[in-house]
Amino acid sequence: MSAQQENGSGTESWTVVRNEEEQYSIWPADRPAPQGWTEIGVVGDRDHCLDHIGEVWTDIRPLSLRRALGVA
């Protein structure tokens, strides 16, 4: 991975991924999502993907904790 890819600069595309605990991250769009993560269909530059995560991930507690607390 290049230094540009590591810090998110440059023109590469990113995709938003989510795991079973409903935690979000971004991943290079030209690579398969890591095991345990699913692409959710949002692709763009780094800022676009991070903005989307900021909009949809309003409760960062893992799903299992939210269920245990009765708020999922």
* Overall residue count recorded for the chain in this entry: 72
In the chain, what are the domain boundaries? 3-69
Please write the tens of the pLDDT for every residue from 10-54.
669 999 999 999 999 999 999 999 999 999 999 999 999 999 999
Pick the more confident residue, 30 or 8: 30
pTM of the full structure: 0.81
- H or E segment to which residue 7 belongs: helix 3-7
According to CATH, the topology of domain 3-69 is Rubredoxin-like (3.90.820)
Least confident of 4-8, 25-29, 66-70: 4-8
Instruction: Give the model's pLDDT for residue 71.
Output: 87
Average pLDDT over residues 1-8: 53
- List all residues 6 or more positions away from 38 whose beta carbon is below 8 Å from its beta carbon: 17, 18, 19
User: Cα(13)–Cα(61) distance, rounded to whole angstroms?
Assistant: 27
